[in-house]
Structure 1
Amino acid sequence: MSRRYAFRVAEGPADREACFAVRKDVFVAEQGVPEDIEYDTHDAGAVHVLAVAEDGTPLGTARLLHGAAAASKNGGDPAVGSLGRLAVTREARGLGVGAALVRAIEGAARDQGLAAVDLHAQTHALGFYERLGYEAYGPEFPDAGMPHRAMRRAL
């Protein structure tokens, strides 16, 4: 696979469906997350970022919650965005797509005037986020049947 890809904020139904298709492949099919909890009411108001190959094939996605939706996830701070649903297709792993998606979400958070980004990382991914400047805090907790930790990075 080519190492060339582009990112964009998902605009319109086709981009959103591409984001949801990547999430379904990664979270539902690969990781066994029940489909009825993968998609939630926050999707409608979230900023979704989509990574695509040169030929338009979706490679990855992530979403940013802000305002009240983010505050409901991060302990009540409306100045902190919530990065979530970061998913990269099996074929695109190892190409830097995940790290680039995190940086794209951080850019979107800055555009929203946010001071920091929070996330709930699967524990096997802690090192990935630590390399990007995130720090874990609080105890481990289950989410969708998998162990997670809260992490934050100031912008």
Structure 2
Amino acid sequence: MFSVKVREVRNEPEQKEAFQVRQQVFVEEQNVPPGLEIDELEQEAFHFVLYDEDQAVGAARLRLVDDYGKAERVCVLPSHRQSGAGRLLMEALEQKALEKGASAMKLNAQHTAVPFYKKLKYEVTSDEFMDAGIPHFEMKKALPVKGGL
């Protein structure tokens, strides 16, 4: 069984680990061009790394746009998919968005990830569109009101 935990990136080594996981999943596994994977929005985002013991096995970033949190670059290494690790990563992003006053979450899910996000109560809010040569759908989820359940 895995012993995973999520940490918000606080230093350069952790940021490097996040980028390494993203490189492995998006660039190497999914053939996303490297120039599209790391972009000009990195500096305005909160970054998170999913660890199993001391090994980085997942990563994501969160940007605050208007009154919602935007989950981006969410990925988990193949060895840890279907283990609940992705759910932990998304819960960390949602918690941070709530702390920053967001009322909802939004993300662009790859077609194959839509069932995963639906389990987390996200709803498809767009027609299919292409991003980096991969079919995506916009998805949204309302966050609980402060003081609510």
TM-score (norm 1): 0.90
| DSSP-derived class of the 1:138 partner | coil
**Letter of the structure 2 residue corresponding to residue 150 of structure 1:** E
Q: What is the rounded CA distance, in whole Å, between the counterparts of 2:43 and 2:78 in structure 1?
A: 26
Q: Residues of 1 paired with 2:86 and 2:4: CA distance?
A: 12
Task: Map residues 47-126 of structure 1 onto 2, 5 A cutoff.
Answer: 47-54=46-53, 56-66=54-64, 70=65, 78-126=66-114
Question: Whose helix fraction is larger, Structure 1's or Structure 2's?
Answer: 1
> Taking every aligned residue pair, what percent have the same amino acid on both sides?
36
Please tell me the residue identity of whatever aligns with 1:13: E
Runs (4+) of structure 1 moved beyond 3 Å? none
1:5 aligns with 2:4: yes
| Contact 2:50 2:57 (C-alpha < 8 Å) held by counterparts | yes
How far 1:94 moved relative to its partner? 2.0
- Three-state SS of the structure 2 residue aligned to 1:58 is strand
What does the per-residue CA deviation read over 1:73-94, in whole Å, with 9 as the maximum and x for residues that have no partner?
xxxxx00111010010111112
Number of corresponding residues: 143
State the SS of the aligned residue for 1:100. helix
Show structure 1 runs of 5+ residues with no match.
71-77
| Separation in 1, partners of 2:87, 2:73 | 13
Q: Deviations over 1:52-80 (max 9, x none)?
A: 111x10010111011xxx3xxxxxxx001
C-alpha distance in structure 2 between counterparts of 1:6 and 1:139, whole Å? 34
> Aligned residue for 2:124?
136
- 2:34 is matched with 35
Secondary structure, aligned partner of 1:41: coil
- State the secondary structure of the residue aligned to 2:26: helix
User: CA offset at residue 38 of structure 1?
Assistant: 0.3
Cα contact 2:5–2:88 (8 A) shared by 1: no
Mapped to 2, the partners of 1:134 and 1:91 lie a distance apart of 24
3-state SS of paired residue (2:32): coil
